[in-house]
Chains A and B, each alone.
Chain A
Amino acid sequence: DAKTTQPPSMDCAEGRAANLPCNHSTISGNEYVYWYRQIHSQGPQYIIHGLKNNETNEMASLIITEDRKSSTLILPHATLRDTAVYYCIGSSGNTPLVFGKGTRLSVIA
């Protein structure tokens, strides 16, 4: 499965959009991109996943570049409760997901 690269940390002002990048330049055609987040001391929470097309749900939007080598998770109006570690994972579904260290997002009032 594709190795993903994320910045270790980011800040975002409360009420602004948080754009979290992820590079997955070795991703293959059948690999999905998953995003999870982990709020302090809690179990990780699924956010969204996509294959080729952009996806949106009640939590976030996922924008995947046309060449599929990178993606961006967008939280449209970040709140203090969105402060968490965000994990980007590439997986074909043949093996379990592998969680890296993710991006620590701090939403600042």
Chain B
Amino acid sequence: NAGVTQTPKFQVLKTGQSMTLQCAQDMNHNSMYWYRQDPGMGLRLIYYSASEGTTDKGEVPNGYNVSRLNKREFSLRLESAAPSQTSVYFCASSDWAMLSGGTDTQYFGPGTRLTVL
């Protein structure tokens, strides 16, 4: 099993450019998440998807859009990149089911390091 995979690993954009970060998991998990991590900071949740076909905003959703393409894949799109979006982006998945609660053991991908000039 590959677990959680993310592409690309590194990306440099110019201000105003757009791009999509891809994430896939092979653990048949219900929930998927996108986080960003700035230097010296903890992880901040951007968006999450508690089931196929649903998405919800996290702590810092502005400037981002997401798509839960199917159960395996959850993409993050920057429509018009800004220098403030320079960060490391992590995708995660878990078996968490929002409506029934329960435990939330998340598995993380290796991250995408994005620089916006």
Contact = CB atoms under 8 A, between A and B. Distances in A.
Interface of A: 30, 32, 34, 36, 41-46, 49, 87, 91-102
A43 B108 contact: yes
B58 A101 contact: no
B54 to A, nearest CB: 13
A36 B88 CA distance: 18
Contacts of A97: 104, 106
Contacts of A102: 42
A91 B104 CA distance: 8
Contacts of B96: 93, 96
Contact of A41 (B41, B45, B111): B111
B98 interface: yes
Which of A34, A95, A102 has the most C-beta atoms of chain B within 10 angstroms of its own C-beta?
Answer: A95
A53 B88 CA distance: 36
Contacts of A34: 104-105
Contacts of A87: 42
Interface residues of B, number: 28
Contacts of A101: 41-42
Contacts of A100: 42
Nearest to A95: B98
Given A43-B111, A45-B108, A99 B48 contact: no
11 contacts: A34-B105, A43-B4, A43-B92, A46-B107, A93-B101, A93-B104, A94-B101, A96-B48, A96-B58, A100-B42, A101-B42
A44 B101 contact: no
Nearest to A94: B101
